[in-house]
Amino acid sequence: MFLEIRGIKKSFGTGDSRVNVLKGLDLDIEKGDLVAIVGHSGSGKSTLMNMLGCLDTPTSGKYVLDGQDVASMTDNQLADVRNKEIGFIFQGFNLISNLDAVGNVELPLVYRGVSKNERKQLAMEALKSVGLEDRMKHKPNEMSGGQQQRVAVARAVAAKPPIILADEPTGNLDTKSTQEIMEILKELHRSGRTVIIITHDEEIASQAHRVIRILDGRIEEDYCNR
């Protein structure tokens, strides 16, 4: 099993103000899956995303990622796993305004210790793969929302991580740009990557091969669309 979660719980606060957000989740995700995790605001889906992405640790339970027990890792160990295993795509793009597209895509590669020449090559390849070969020198304010999100996708995939974790990746986009981003994510899946999409949008979820529906910190439904 590629991702294995057992009895994951996550609580915030203490005493009377304690809030139980995840309430004992069990979940397996196979390598190469295209999964949508769906839920309304407050359902626990964002907290689950933080667990899956090693951005946070559970209060209790077990999480094994590609053979590594990450639930009890230190912050530095979690950062190392994130760096090597996961490419993140966020709703807000999170691009650096004074860097061009190549510079934005190169940035995570700096933290991986990739050499300058290789960084540039990987960044250019990633931008070409999302159809932005003619926008490499453009800064974020010189691009549309859809183009900015494609830069964000290129940044996530440049180092070829096995997992792509997309948090509401089309939330700020129009219909045309939304479908373009979804086609890119599906192509990444076809190339062998595990793609996990966090969304509240049923239309986006319907394009995944598997849908996991979260309600009040528990898995309400888990079914295949294939």
Distances (CA, A) of 35 to 32, 119, 140, 193, 226: 9, 29, 29, 11, 11
Residue 60 pLDDT grade (very low, low, confident, very high; cuts 50, 70, 90): very high
Residue 120 has pLDDT above 90, yes or no: yes
Look at residue 226 and tell me whether its pLDDT is greater than 80. Answer: no
Q: In this structure, are residues 119 and 126 in contact, taking their beta carbons and an 8 Å threshold?
A: no
Distance between CA atoms of 72 and 74, rounded to whole angstroms?
7
Quick one: tokens of 20?
């139980």
Per-residue pLDDT for 108 more than 80? yes
- The model's pTM: 0.92
| Sign of the Cα pseudo-torsion (26, 30, 32, 35, in order) | negative
Alpha-carbon distance of 78 to 74, in angstroms, equals: 6
Per-residue pLDDT tens over the stretch 3-30: 999 999 999 988 888 999 999 999 999 9
Tokens linked to 135: 């926008």
Q: What is the mean pLDDT of residues 32-36?
A: 96
Tell me the percentage of the chain whose pLDDT exceeds 70. Answer: 99
Structure tokens given for 118: 């290789």
Q: Give the whole-number percent of the chain exceeding pLDDT 90.
A: 73
Q: For residue 134, what pLDDT is reported?
A: 94
Res. 189: pLDDT tops 90: yes
The whole-angstrom separation of Cα 224 and Cα 107 is 36
- Identify the pLDDT of residue 1: 60
Q: What angle do CA 159, 80, 71 make, to 5 degrees?
A: 125
Structure tokens at 56: 């946070």
